[in-house]
Amino acid sequence: MYDKPMLSLDQIRRAMNAMLDKATQEPDRPVAIAIVDDAGNLLNYARMDGCRTNPQTFAIRKAYTSAMSGADSAVYAERLKSQGRTVADMGNPNLVSAQGAVVVLHPSTGVVLGAIGVSGLAAQEDEDLSRLGLEALGL
């Protein structure tokens, strides 16, 4: 039998609350936030009022990309670029090459537990908000 570590509901809620508390300080700059498990399955999602459709989709796809690649989405995008490749080469239409998601790794084993993706702001701001969520997980 295998034991598989995973994110708890309590951890996910803490992360989402921390990110929403920060994001809603500027309600005129709406974002979408997605948290996925190690297989890219959606665990939690939120979008602020007035959030456009594209960021809503991209938050989920950024988180999925980080979980599937085992790397922050900016690192994954840079890796592809350095290899002269694009996400289209991967054959998976859910992958994106965009900054704004962070991978969640088990602190002692380095196993991928999931990822957090944010979309709606400038790329670095999306990533910064994702990192706030990562810290709130308490790993």
DSSP string, 67-114: HHHTS-HHHHHHHHHHTT--GGGGT-TT----S-EEEEE-TTT--EEE
Q: What is the end-to-end Cα distance of the chain in Å, rounded? A: 24
Digit-coded pLDDT (tens) for 117-138: 999 999 999 999 999 999 999 9
Q: How confident is the model at residue 3 (pLDDT cuts 50, 70, 90)?
A: confident
Digit-coded pLDDT (tens) for 7-27: 999 999 999 999 999 999 999
**CATH code, domain carrying 111:** 3.30.450.150
Does residue 1 form part of some domain? no
Does residue 61 form part of some domain? yes
Domain around 98: 9-118+125-136
Q: DSSP 3-state helix, strand, coil percentages of the chain (rounded to 5)?
A: 45, 20, 40
Neighbours of 69 (CB within 10 A): 20
Domain count, the chain: 1
Does residue 4 form part of some domain? no
Does residue 54 form part of some domain? yes
Does residue 3 form part of some domain? no
pTM: 0.96
